[in-house]
Amino acid sequence: MSALRRRLGEYLAIRRAMGFTMERHEKLLGQFVDHLAARDVSTITIEDALEWAMSPAQADPSWWAARLSMVRGFAVHLRALDPAHQVPPCALIAHSPRRTVPYLYTDQDVAALVRAAGALSAPLRAATYQTLIRLLGATGMRVGEAIGLDRADFDIELGVLTVRDTKFGKTRQLPLHPTATTGLQDYVRLRDHLLPAPSTPALLLSTKGFRLHYPRVWETFHRLVGQADLTARSPASTPRIHDLRHTFAVNTLLDCYRDGADVPAMLPHLATYLGHADPKHTYWYLSASPELLALAGDRLDAHEKETR
Residues 88 and 132 in one domain: no
In this prediction, residue 139 carries a pLDDT of 94
115 and 95 both lie in a single domain: no
Task: Say if 302 falls within a structural domain.
Answer: no
Active site residue 280: no
Do residues 198 and 181 share a domain? Answer: yes
Choose the catalytic residue: 15, 142, 191, 246: 142
The pLDDT of 5-23, averaged and rounded, is 87
Q: Which residue is catalytic, options 67, 245, 246, 273? A: 245
113/82 same-domain check: no
Distant-in-sequence, close-in-space partners of 162: CB < 8 Å, separation ≥ 6: 153, 155, 171, 172, 173, 174
Residue 37 belongs to a domain? yes
Q: What is the CATH number of the domain that holds 199?
A: 1.10.443.10
**198 and 121 inside one domain:** yes
Do 111 and 209 have their domain in common?
yes
For residues 72 and 133, state if they share a domain: no
Are residues 30 and 95 both part of a single domain? yes
Domain boundary among 99, 116, 136: 99
Q: Same structural domain for residues 120 and 171?
A: yes
Higher pLDDT, 21 or 132: 132
Residues 67 and 166 in one domain: no
Residue 265 included in any domain: no
Q: How many domains does the chain have?
A: 2
Chosen domain end from 99, 125, 151 = 99
**pLDDT over 90 percentage in the chain:** 56
How far is 85 from 113, CA to CA, in rounded Å? 35
Q: Pick the catalytic residue from 125, 242, 257, 299.
A: 242
Mean pLDDT over residues 180-206, rounded? Answer: 95
pLDDT digits 0-9 by tens, 155-173: 999 999 999 877 666 789 9
Are 48 and 36 in contact by the 8 Å Cβ rule? The answer is yes
**Which residues form the domain of 68?**
1-99
C-alpha count within 13 angstroms, C-beta hemisphere, residue 300: 20
Question: Are 282 and 267 spatial neighbours (Cβ–Cβ below 8 Å)?
Answer: yes
Domain end marker among 99, 134, 165: 99
Give a yes or no: residue 25 inside a domain. Answer: yes
Q: How far apart are CA 12 and CA 17, in angstroms?
A: 9
Establish whether 142 is a catalytic residue: yes
Tell me the whole-structure pTM to 2 decimals.
0.64
Q: 296: closest CA among 5, 80, 71?
A: 80
Asked if residue 112 and residue 223 are part of one domain, the reply reads yes
* Same domain for 222 and 119: yes
Q: Is 24 a catalytic residue?
A: no
Task: Kindly report, residue by residue over 31-69, the tens digit of the pLDDT.
Answer: 999 999 998 999 999 999 999 999 888 888 888 888 999
Concerning whether 299 is annotated as a catalytic residue, the answer is no
283 found inside a domain = no
pLDDT of amino acid 217: 94
256 in any annotated domain: no
- The answer to whether 276 is a known catalytic residue is yes
pLDDT > 70? residue 190: yes
